Each structure stands twice: as structure tokens, then as C-alpha cells.
Copies of this chain bind each other. A is one copy, B any other.
């Protein structure tokens, strides 16, 4: 059976706001082979990845992923690995390749799961999918009182771990201390409290180091992304201070090598992978295996839909030692309702992947149509992309 079509759909809420909420738009991917359909999702700018999908060849290492996908056979995981390898090869000189590949790779696993009647964790070689303990992932409040209330409401909602990130954090020492104290007060003394600096210090180790004492004082479970994901040297220097607060990072990786470098040379103790950026489930699984071998913690990065959430849990679903998962609690209407079924928490507050084939989640055509953007790209009078029919 060969791959017949790859379709990209750009969805967006009507008014995207200039805040750190990545759930405001979405690039949905549909792949068809014979009577089977797989769905995936790319994180990051939809229009840029659409252009990457249809871009004319520049030279032999600067080509669309499509050239490696269409007509390729899809019979086994080995086919997906081969496609992954080939997309990287012909897309070497296009920086966007990893992001564009992500949704394609996820959709291929979903499709293969449907074809074989098996969930993706099974295709990946796991005998079972272990439930994950979700941490509530949200932005800091605009002021400490809001942060406190947000923390309290997540405790009341039954979460055992809560993360605050982005927003006002990282710009003023006193304000940061107040927000951190409010966060701890809000979630209570016993919950796991995680802090996400949202790359605010770029690569400035001293600015990050000034906050370590504050973070230790509230017993933070980790400090996430003090720096941009490429600043491996800065991570390494901060890690060398041996704080009791471990460093977390990796969500920005658009290639598994970039996540690996944060482990090898950046001293992170928690690697966070977004399957919608790193190139999909295939490279995410590579990093999960690597994290296990290096005895560091693996956790998903997801701030968008439950389709993306399921895809991001699959790579480490069978690894019981990695018990935590990021769980978006502030997603937009688009992200919240994209799929007909969702990964709800059970009576113990845990998240289970479906045992049904593929990702086990189905996008809702009505929601897709509601948020769909109509895109057309023409080169020399020829339409090379127009939004496909749903």
C-alpha cells in the first residue's frame, strides 16, 4: 500500500493574541493511503510549513518533504523510519524541515496504526501504555494574586503537579520572588511545583543564577528553559552550579541531535520533547530511549490539542519510570474541541492513551471547518497550494 495524499489544514482562532499561548492556531495534517487515513499536527507557524510542503526544489538537499512521502509504501514502522531519514536528507538545507516533518510523521504512525489495528505505543514495541500523571500547565498570572488563584484552582481541580511559565516572569527580581511565593502558596506545600522561564534570559547565565535561591526556597521541581534551546553552553554553566533545582529543556528542538546536546553538554536532568517540532514520534522515541540510557527524566511538551497530546505521550507511553505528562489546562476553544474524544483524567487524576488503533483520537470535521483558514499559494500563475477539502 502506497501513500496517496498529504494534506495540510491551517486552523486559527479569529483573533490571535500576542501572548505565550501556543494553542491559538494549529496545522493539521491528513495522510491517506488506500482506505486508511492518518492525522497529525505540526507545532509552530502553519503558513511556513505549508510553504515548505509545496516549495519548488532549490537543489538536491533543498526539497519539499513531499518528495520523500508521496507514493512511498506504508506497511511497517521501517517504512516510517525510511521516510524520516529521506525527508531529512532532501530537506537538509531548509531550516523548517523538522517542523514540517513532525505532523507528517505523526500522521504516518496514526495511519499505520489504523491499517494494522494497533495503537501507536504497540507499534513502537511497548507491551502496554502506562498512565501518566498530568501536570497542569499554565501561564503566570499578570500579578502575584492572579498566580496564587491560578495555583489554588489547579489544586482544587485535583492536580498533583502544577507548572507556571512565561507571562511576567524573569524580568524583575522582586516581582519574580512574589510570583514564586504566590505560586507555592496557591498550590500548597505538598504539590509538585514546576517553573518555566520561557527562555527569558536567552543565554545570560548570571540573570538565571540570580533566581536559583528563590527557586530553591519554594522547592521548585525544575527550572525549565532559562535559556533558548540552542544555548547549550549557558545550560552547561548553570548546571555546573549544582542547584537542588534540576534544569529542564528541549521543547525547541527541531532535530533529535539538538535535544541530545542539551543532555550531553547542557546538563539538563529533564528533557521535554514536542513531537510537533522535533520531527514527530520517530525522533521523539529516539530521545526517550536516550534519556532512559542516560538516567534522566523524559516528559512531553504540549500546549495545544489532545491530538498533539496523544502524539507526544506515545513515544514514552511504555516507560513507567517517566510518569509525568504536560497537560494543557488553558487551551483555546480550537485546541480544546479539535478532537471528538479527549484524553480526560480518570478518577485517580491520571491520563491514559486510548487502546484503539493509531492515536485513538478523531478530529471533528465541524470544528475543522469552523476554524479553517483558506490559503492559496501561486507561483508564476500556477496554484501550488490551496486549502484541501475536508
Contacts and interface: CB of A to CB of B under 8 A. Distances in A.
Interface of A: 10, 12, 16-22, 24-25, 43-48, 50-52, 54-63, 85, 88-89, 92-99, 166, 198-199, 202-203, 228, 230-233, 252, 254-255, 257-258, 260-261, 264-265, 277, 373-381
A100 to B, nearest CB: 9
A96 B93 contact: no
A98 B97 CA distance: 13
Nearest to A22: B59
Given A92-B252, A375-B378, A18 B60 contact: yes
A10 B51 CA distance: 13
Given A18-B60, A264-B265, A48 B96 contact: yes
B94 A48 contact: yes
Given A62-B22, A261-B232, A48 B44 contact: no
29 contacts: A10-B379, A12-B56, A16-B57, A16-B59, A18-B60, A18-B63, A20-B59, A24-B58, A25-B58, A44-B58, A44-B62, A44-B94, A45-B51, A45-B62, A45-B96, A47-B55, A47-B377, A48-B51, A48-B52, A48-B55, A51-B377, A52-B96, A85-B202, A94-B99, A231-B257, A232-B265, A233-B264, A264-B265, A374-B380
A232 to B, nearest CB: 6
Contacts of A199: 61, 92
Given A95-B99, A232-B264, 15 more contacts: A16-B56, A16-B57, A18-B59, A18-B63, A20-B59, A47-B379, A48-B94, A52-B96, A61-B199, A93-B252, A230-B255, A233-B257, A233-B264, A373-B380, A375-B379
Contact of A230 (B20, B203, B258): B258
Contacts of A52: 45, 48, 51, 96
A337 to B, nearest CB: 18
Nearest to A102: B95
Contacts of A59: 16-22, 24
A241 B86 CA distance: 29
Contacts of A85: 202
A54 B62 contact: no
Among A99, A260, A380, which residue has the most Cβ atoms of chain B within 10 A? A380
A22 B93 contact: yes
Contacts of A260: 233
Nearest to A57: B16
Contacts of A228: 88, 92, 257
